[in-house]
Amino acid sequence: MTTYYLNPIGLAASPQGENGAAVRLAGGMTYAGRFALIGREGGKVVSRALYGVRELEAALTSLPEAVRVQWDNLRRAPAPLQFGARTVRLDQPQVMGILNVTPDSFSDAGEFLDRPDVAQAHAAAMLEAGAAIVDIGGESTRPGAPAVWEGDELKRVLPIVERVAAMGAAISVDTRRPVVMEAAVAAGAHLFNDVSALRHDPRSMEFAAASGVPVVLMHAPGEGEDLHGGGSYADVVLDVFDWLAARRDAAVEAGVARERIVLDPGIGFGKSLADNLALMNALPLFHALGQPVLVGASRKRMIGALSGEAAANARLGGSIALAMKALDAGVQLLRVHDVAETVQALRVWRGLRDEALTDFGHLPS
């Protein structure tokens, strides 16, 4: 059986740039005028056809149902995420600021662990700088990091959730443990960001369905404690796409409302430098899954590998470059350490996109 993938390959800043023959990707500020329809059998690509928008629309009735579904998904605007009284719109990109309360975070070396006042001040600074969401995590997920007992994770996370909730912020909790999910939601969190995509504990799926709380499902190839293991791919982009589709479908089947599911291709998790670069280049394809897309590439190892082994806290330039790549691809959520700098880059990008809608060089009517 052939599996099909409809990949937007001709991106534009405005429909005028394609003489109107472009569609708005996922209700955002990126347009696509050309598409590659890829067919795969047994893990191998067996076909590739190129279409413009009008050619594709004319051919849809003769193409498989899966292609028509992906076409609809590519043009679907995701519903806003509801965070209590706060609404986070996804018709424009949003920034999620990272707040790690761990002793061994690769990026902040435990700066906020057991220092709730400092952590709260950092959260406030990120919100003031323009973060729409604060993502609080109590377990390092870097390669080789030791597992954390859920009691320790609760002790790290809950006091910060309570303080940030008192500020009226939209809060995500980065956890794969249902006990932490439930306690964090009770303390004021609004979303949980699960690096295991609800696989670590079967009770996580049950809680996700029963709680009504949005969830991020991230791709990681490993099982159990080692999420970075087993990263072998026939084609990393298409394999990750299929994996995320399967996890989305499993969540929906378990009772998680589809409009509450966000997908993350898992940059840096069980992937080589080449794998990560391929995924970043293929981000527009993931809109064909019909869910909001989150990308967390901030300060990742791939930046160091491409910049003379720069330390994690010296990867701002690379982080901004990857954020801009994600923005051009229409990604809705950027998970970052350097909020002020990323928001500034996003606002400049947004200004360029707004101006592109007026275009130039057209004949007068």
Helices (H), 36-174: 53-59, 65-75, 116-129, 150-166
What region does 20 belong to: left with phi over 0, alpha with psi -120 to 50, or beta? left
Asked if 158 and 139 touch (Cβ cutoff 8 Å), the reply is no
> Mind telling me the catalytic residues?
300, 335
Residue 348 makes CB contacts below 8 A (sequence gap 6+) with none
For tokens 């729409």, the residue is: 132
Burial class (CB in 10 A: 0-12, 13-18, 19+), 19: exposed
Asked if 256 and 213 touch (Cβ cutoff 8 Å), the reply is no
Residue 10 tokens, joined: 């001709």
DSSP string, 223-248: -TT-TTTT---SSHHHHHHHHHHHHH
CA–CA dist 71, 76 (Å, integer): 9
DSSP summary character for residue 293? B
Closest CA to 285 of 1, 29, 4: 4
CA distances from 15 to 19, 20, 25, 53, 248 (A): 6, 5, 11, 11, 31
CA–CA dist 95, 352 (Å, integer): 18
